[in-house]
Amino acid sequence: MREFREAVDARDHEAIDRLLADDVVFTSPVAFKPYHGRHITAAILRGVIRVMGDGFHYVREYSSADGRDHALMFETTIDGKALTGTDFIHVNDDGKIDDFMVMVRPLTAAQALAEAMGAQFERIGQEAAEAAARPSTVDTWRS
């Protein structure tokens, strides 16, 4: 998870996108249904970085013995409320993130996060649609 943490710390959206599997499933702490696919997940993560800003930082990391499951604990402040959360990440055989679940606490901070992300969601949807419409580097190379 070193590459992912470094990409997040650097706010390197392209590096984060490259680490996601095409079929990644993103489970939000504030949405009922998970999101499916790299484009929407990358757009959500860009929105999260915008909302959480420079105060976001990882404080702990736990990894399974086989290196495929990770828990990254983070802290930040949303609308003046201290938020603690954990990214639960699984990587596939290719080393790409194929499952990404976020949990946060306390409830008041989760509610502030939901409100802040709700304000981003039109932009997130637009970014995901634009990314899906562009040919990927692999597709361009094969042409």
Helix (H/G/I), strand (E/B), else coil: 33: coil
Say what the alpha-carbon torsion angle 30, 104, 63, 16 is, to the nearest 10 degrees: 60
Map out the domains of the chain as residue ranges: 2-130
- Cα–Cα distance between 134 and 93 in angstroms, integer? 26
pTM, two decimal places: 0.89
Q: Average pLDDT of 108-135?
A: 92
Q: Pick one of 3.40.640.10, 3.20.20.10, 3.10.450.50, 1.20.1260.10 as the CATH number of 2-130.
A: 3.10.450.50
| pLDDT, tens digit, 9 for 90 and up, residues 33-50 | 999 999 999 999 999 999
| pLDDT, tens digit, 9 for 90 and up, residues 4-21 | 999 999 999 999 999 999
- Cα–Cα distance between 124 and 39 in angstroms, integer? 10
| pLDDT, tens digit, 9 for 90 and up, residues 59-113 | 999 999 999 999 999 999 999 999 999 999 999 999 999 999 999 999 999 999 9
Cis-peptide, bond into residue 135, ω within 30° of zero: no
